[in-house]
Amino acid sequence: MHPRRADRPDASSVLLAGPWVHNDYSTNGVRLHVAEAGSGPLILLLHGFPQFWWTWRHQIVALADAGYRVVAPDLRGYGASDKPPRPYDVMTTAADIARLVSAMGEREATLVGHDLGGSVAWTVARFRPDVIARLVILSAPHPRRWRAALVSDFKQIGASSHVFGFQTPRIPEQRLTRDGAVEVGRLMTEWAGERWASTVDFAEARERYQQAMLIPQAAYGALEHYRWAVRSLPRPDGVRYTRRMSIPVGMPTLQLHGAQDSCILPTTAQGSSRYVSSTYEWQTISHTGHFLPEEVPDLVTGEILRWIKS
């Protein structure tokens, strides 16, 4: 059963209280909602699918306490940020984030991205290296690795069956929001590591993400990112993007990946080092699945701080 629009939560439902403040910034023609805390050098935390800024609730507090200004935006189409009809290509989303840095009165940031946010972070680093000091990538291959795997790696094609299922109009939105967005919970259960999936924290987070996907137009926005990623593969805009991404990024890059990640296979993400011309480090995190910021929050926080200070 689909909830009636009047029964659905609105964007205010993701303005969750905590030791942070909620702000809106105008950037690249859209309004982005952020949760932020602390003062000092800027750290930007970019969430993935099917989540919103809440992914980073542990890191926001810990990194702010360590002396940083920590900002976790909702990407366009998600949470309390604008959900325009278009565009949802990764270059536009990357421009949102690059311009967010200046909109907040900052010159550069350490950029941390998970899943979709990782793809956006790779793209910002390539298109706007002037605003990025260091890069931390979680559960996300370099875009050229992922785009190649979608057409050549049968194991990753199978793991990405949901992405191909997102390509038709309207029906995927209905499937994603049916019965209280139970499909969101199913995907999270499938992709999470066993240890986290059996906890109360996982059950609570899953409920948060299901509710957030019921915000009007949130499912559409979330899916449009993936529609562009697949549909652009043979198109001129996608070919140009892939070609530009062949040039390595020039800032120190740390890449973390869960050993049990069944959404983005570790073998797909490995090899991203060829697209980094600066210091690069890869870590496989044992006993973890796709959702590293929540499955191993202390480890992720510690690695971000180590990478910034190294």
61-107: pLDDT as tens digits: 999 999 999 999 999 999 999 999 999 999 999 999 999 999 999 99
Residue bearing tokens 């926080």 = 301
Residue 188 CA to residue 52 CA, distance in Å, equals 13
258-287: pLDDT as tens digits: 999 999 999 999 999 999 999 999 999 999
CATH number at residue 140: 3.40.50.1820
Contacts of 154 (CB under 8 A, 6+ apart): none
Is the preceding omega at residue 50 within 30 degrees of 0, hence cis? yes
Residue 293: domain span: 5-309
What six digits make up the tokens of 229?
A: 């990623």
Residue bearing tokens 């311009």 = 99
Number of residues that this document lists for the chain? 310
Residue 199 CA to residue 214 CA, distance in Å, equals 24
How much of the chain, in percent, has pLDDT values that exceed 90? 94
Contacts of 249 (CB under 8 A, 6+ apart): 122, 125, 126, 129, 135, 275, 276, 277, 278
Q: Total structural domains in the chain?
A: 1
* pLDDT confidence of residue 3: 52
150-204: pLDDT as tens digits: 888 999 999 999 999 999 999 999 999 999 999 999 999 999 999 999 999 999 9
Contacts of 183 (CB under 8 A, 6+ apart): 175, 176, 177
Q: Tell me the average pLDDT across 112-132.
A: 98
> Roughly what angle, to the nearest 10 degrees, separates helices 200-213 and 218-231?
90
Provide the CB-side half-sphere exposure for 218 (13 A, CA): 29
Give me the amino acid identity at 26: S
> Roughly what angle, to the nearest 10 degrees, separates helices 116-127 and 90-103?
70
| Average pLDDT, rounded, for the chain | 96
- Report yes or no on whether pTM surpasses 0.85: yes
Confidence grade of residue 4 (pLDDT, cut at 50, 70, 90): low
